[in-house]
Amino acid sequence: MDHQASKIKKQKSSLDSISKFISLILRHKPEAVGITLDEHGWADVEALTIGIRKSRFSGFDREMLEEIVRSDSKQRYSFNEDGTLIRANQGHSVPVDVELPVAVPPEYLYHGTGQKYEASIDKAGLIPKSRLYVHLSGDTETARKVGCRHGRPVLYQVQSGRMQKDGCVFYRSVNGVWLTKRVPAEYLEKLTDVGRNM
């Protein structure tokens, strides 16, 4: 690997590490860098940048923050219109209202998880645990990737169309993740042949 390629790889690794830290701050622990979120989850960009620089990454600046937001494959973050505020698009454990639009879901959505959670889900359905909402995917491939993060993946098909007709409310975040308060077990069907359902 030549020097330039090595430098780029090192910089990407550093940005990935900072992005994970930003996710922690904007979703769960704004106090980690001495900032607060408003009622809609927005944080002051300058305060966030200074907080990250003081607490963990001394060279962090606005340009790096913009690169993280722009290049994030999951589109986790958004700036407000004038770029002075930033927030996580979903995934919060702190009580905020990120102004998610109510949306009519497709007939089926999907949820990927690890095998270790299977028995609990089969019994109680999907619950948000420490988050504010259950996160659902629009396709099996995305759900499988999520499930792989938790070990051997298990996929569930959610009867979202029927849930919505029965009065359950769905939201869709700006990065395409579907959210709802909970999914009772009666609306879940396990996809047994994970490989073929991709």
Print the SS3 string covering 46-115: HHHHHHHHHHCCCCCCHHHHHHHHHHCCCCCEEECCCCCEEEECCCCCCCCCCCCCECCCCCCEEEEEEH
Task: Give just the sign of the alpha carbon dihedral 133, 139, 144, 146.
Answer: negative
Query: In angstroms, rounded to a whole number, what is the distance separating the alpha carbons of residues 156 and 135?
Result: 12
- CA 60 vs CA 14, 34, 41, 78, 189: distances in Å: 10, 16, 22, 18, 45
pLDDT attached to residue 198: 39
For the entire predicted model, the pTM comes to 0.70
Q: Using one digit for the tens of pLDDT, what is the confidence trace for 160-178?
A: 999 999 999 999 988 889 9
Eight-class DSSP state of 183: B
Nearest to 170, CA basis, from 108, 78, 77: 108
Please state the rounded mean pLDDT for residues 26-37: 95
Tell me what the pLDDT averaged over the chain comes to. 88
pLDDT attached to residue 193: 57
pLDDT attached to residue 13: 64
